[in-house]
Amino acid sequence: MSRTVYLNGQYLPESEAKVSIFDRGFLMADGVYEVTSVLDGRLIDFDGHAARLERSLKALDMASPVGRDELLEIHRELVRLNGIEEGMIYLQITRGAPGDRDFVFPDPAETPPTIVLFTQNKPGMADAPAARTGIRVITIDDLRWHRRDIKTVQLLYPSMGKMMAKAAGADDAWLVEDGKVTEGTSNNAYIVSGGRIITRELSHDILHGITRKAVLRFAREAQMEVEERAFSPEEAKSADEAFITSASTFVMPVVEIDGTPLGDGKPGPVARRLREIYLEESRAAAI
């Protein structure tokens, strides 16, 4: 079945959703995005994603083409039109399509931003088999630009990282800079040592994960100890357990790093418990 997607005010069949070759998203990666999950046909942490979107746009001197309420309405309409029970909604806003290519930003009065949203139907996403077996990661150099807190579409290196992981027989890659893990290719990274949850502190170096924020709050509410600091691949390999978080994987246990199994090589109790809490609380708060 063909999806219905949203593009600049219109709901269209996906095959008709096209942008100009002069769109700055296409020519210069001048755009930002968000991915919001859907469970039980409702949106998970919509307001967190809407707030981060505003932050990304502001960092790039871009105005949002839609307010929070209209954005919510578009998300809900796409869920309805495409009959999504479990899945994701991808949203991208670019600086629009001026008539030509130029490094200088176009005048926003003459060039409106491009906004596109589409759904990804993922039945069974919350009950993903990978959550029961855990995933394996490799570590690779972090070669990305230095404003990873802005959620831009400059995703070539994360995509290359995923391919390096695949080539190594693993599921994902953790990025390493100055001897410390920054994050995963499209997720935040955590280890658990002596009962403490350790994850890198927020800065320009990592994405300010919406799922990260929620998970750390739930962990603290459950009296778990959280330490926000960087850790090395070596420390990670000797940790009791590890996991990642993202909007689409929720909390996903990591059972192997660079071929070294963690603990007994199975998903750890902290990751499993946090996944349970996250899914329960998020479903309850979904809109």
Binding to a second copy by residue 98, rule CB under 8 A?
no
- Of residues 151, 180, 213, 266, which has the active-site annotation? 151
Of residues 24-63, those binding a second copy (CB under 8 A)? 24-30, 33, 60-61
Per CB under 8 A, the segment of 162-170, 189-197, 220-228, 235-243 that binds a second copy is: 162-170
| Contact with a second copy (CB under 8 A) among 153, 168, 279, 286 | 153
Q: Is 58 an annotated catalytic residue?
A: no
* Cβ-based nearer residue to a second copy, 15 or 223: 15
**What are the angstrom distances between the C-alpha of 139 and each of 168, 227, 234, 258?**
11, 21, 10, 6
Of residues 189-248, those binding a second copy (CB under 8 A)? none
Binding to a second copy by residue 11, rule CB under 8 A?
no
Binding to a second copy by residue 18, rule CB under 8 A?
yes
Q: Minimum distance from CB of 132 to a second copy (Å)? A: 22
Per the listing, tokens 């009065």 go with 109
Q: How many CA atoms lie within 13 A of 254 on its CB side?
A: 32
Query: Nearest 5°: phi and psi at 172?
Result: -160, 170
Binding to a second copy by residue 287, rule CB under 8 A?
no
Distance CA 277, CA 270 (A): 10
3-state secondary structure of 244: strand
Q: How many CA atoms lie within 13 A of 113 on its CB side?
A: 19
How many residues form the binding site for a second copy (CB under 8 A)? Answer: 51
Antiparallel, parallel or unpaired: β 172-177 and 180-184: antiparallel
Binding to a second copy by residue 107, rule CB under 8 A?
no
